[in-house]
A and B are shown apart, each in its own frame.
Chain A
């Protein structure tokens, strides 16, 4: 009975990310619209878009291979699993032993690899441009991400997220410069990974400036729905990751009863809302950077993460 309950809670967590992901994107869009003095689409518009795309016919290029048709599902699955692994409202759930930071990085990395493949599969020039830009960004974002993981692992003594969250939330940790650097680096990586301003513009129609959108330009119907859904999930994933690692307060531990769970979910949604507002304000206040500036931006993230790790080493060996 206890096991069934635990599985149910784990299942609830997996469904929760699926349900909340489009809402988070819708919320960010809404806040951005309000900041621009527009009314903006309704909060549930992303759900409607997904439904509409699911119902639509798929138009495939003549040159598309089987890979092109399979990849959307692969990307969706990998991103969903990665998003569901992260403790959102509770730590120590049944499958929390799988919630390893390196596993999450690997899952996202393979999703990106397949997306870049799909971009080039059809053979249009935009797919190629998008894929080459995406890989350029990834080649800097992934090492930065791994260095952040190392810093966290050095502090917490584990890469398992429940443990990391527990250590980070404990009062004896205190303020650490290296963790501050990791936080900034992680935010920068998150912006790049989610194709947000200033690295990419998620709402542009200019095919020549796109990165993520250029790769998925040839997708339609349910394939596009899968890719869009994966993008929603990825945003949620990074917000959850940042809040789980750096602001772990409000996370409940497993087996603490429905009341505590409900409180945990409420706190989690609150964190999402704050992150969404911050993202929208940031994106409104800044222009997109030149494509060739992106390496500088991510290079800074990489350096910060590296400095964080080095500082930890130095402070330990003394």
Chain B
């Protein structure tokens, strides 16, 4: 095996049967042998997995080989396919989800428990081909979830959630602790499953775009952008330059608002409310600037396939500029405050350390990956306009602790400030949207795909537009899919009381994950 030349992703795709109309990257139907070869590459850490999703009787996997992206698809006769998760753990939850939604059963998957399906839906396999048949069946019953065992003297379990004391989203955490030290943490998610992929199937592009923008509220711009870019890739249209630049402006404002909020919230979890208050003020400035510039604080539904929905006027530009100027003045003091408060540093340094190997294996995006040495940013590679014309750095640290994740955010705030300034300076004139072309001919399907850097990390959107311009299937993969499992790893050996701090430094999305 080792003597053979290592296959490149491109070889694998060419070994399969390429699918027509799949843009911008290639997709191929492959044989089980090729599929297994890809799994091997993943397990040996040469490639990264960007996503794994199902369709009735088909399973797709998006792969990243250096800077090359490709999708391989495998027919699943009888719903069976060779499991990826048995050799490459990051696929575990994705495979369990595909099993819940499509009834696809991965052969050899060690963990066959349900994931998103808690037995409360009243139907099983809601997205499978014979869904109408399954619907009439007796509702599935909720059975007790078997948490992974941890045995030993003096171990005790602490169940936390799904309803928490604060106003946050629901998720269950099962701690096994020895005194205060966490021996194992197991998450159980899926409480906010909204069936977005099911709702999108068969809906017009406009409605699907609105649904995409509601996948995870704090990343609404990034999701809309990912969806719009996927639609444009499928239909072969290009948004006009002004729209492209306005999109980047919104995305950076969203990143600014969320990072500022996070920096404050992490400090607040160490009971340092002063940072929280000051960062909250700055975050509010960004949100108000977004409202003044685009008519919505979170800029929801402002990015649409074909362009943007609202243009930036003189007043809006001034509002954004004044917010940026204010943050530029005040943010350095907050960074200094963070860096010079010894009691705060004592909490964040060396807490919740995530090993770089794990970050690489799970292809962790965003600050989680970058704080643990994974140098990846979808804005830079594969890259999308207008970032190729803008100057920015991607900060990377090796420590992987809470402190490193805070510093990545701090550096990214600085980069985003500079990006916003560059965008405002060079914003081109022109129309802000183009029309969506005629729907494809009967019987023809167009696939589109996009990878967009949200504040948490890379968001993958994959969709197929079929007859009448309706979305046949759309899959949105939140960065949290590859971050939630790492939180379990990062907390191990820490103390129970430090979990909120670690959790906040990851700040994974429940809604985007549960979809």
Contact = CB atoms under 8 A, between A and B. Distances in A.
A35 B159 CA distance: 36
Interface in B346-374: 346-347
B347 to A, nearest CB: 6
Contact of B164 (A32, A125, A207): A207
A287 interface: yes
Contacts of A292: 180, 495
A287 B344 CA distance: 5
B343 A289 contact: yes
B166 interface: yes
Contacts, number: 78
Contacts of B499: 208
Nearest to A197: B271
Nearest to B180: A291
Contact of B497 (A36, A284, A290): A290
B150 interface: no
B267 A287 contact: yes
A206 B159 contact: no
Most chain A beta carbons < 10 A, residue from B271, B276, B347, B499: B271
Nearest to B278: A37
Contacts of A207: 160, 164-165
B460 interface: no
A37 B160 CA distance: 33
A207 B158 CA distance: 11
Helix, strand, loop or mixed for chain A's interface? loop
Contacts of A129: 158, 496
Contacts of B346: 287, 289-290, 293
Contact of B498 (A36, A125, A201, A290): A290
B156 A35 contact: no
A205 B271 CA distance: 11
Contacts of B496: 129, 208
B434 interface: no
A125 B157 contact: yes
Interface in B114-131: none
A310 to B, nearest CB: 29
A45 interface: no
A203 B166 CA distance: 11
Contact of B277 (A37, A201, A203): A37
A206 B277 CA distance: 18
Nearest to B276: A36
B274 A198 contact: no
B274 A38 contact: no
Interface of A: 32, 35-38, 125-126, 129, 197-198, 201, 203-209, 284-293
Interface of B: 156-160, 164-166, 180, 267, 269-274, 276-278, 281, 341, 343-344, 346-347, 495-500
24 contacts: A36-B273, A36-B274, A37-B277, A37-B278, A37-B281, A125-B156, A125-B158, A125-B159, A126-B158, A129-B158, A198-B271, A206-B269, A208-B158, A208-B160, A209-B500, A284-B274, A287-B341, A287-B347, A288-B272, A288-B347, A290-B346, A290-B347, A291-B495, A292-B180
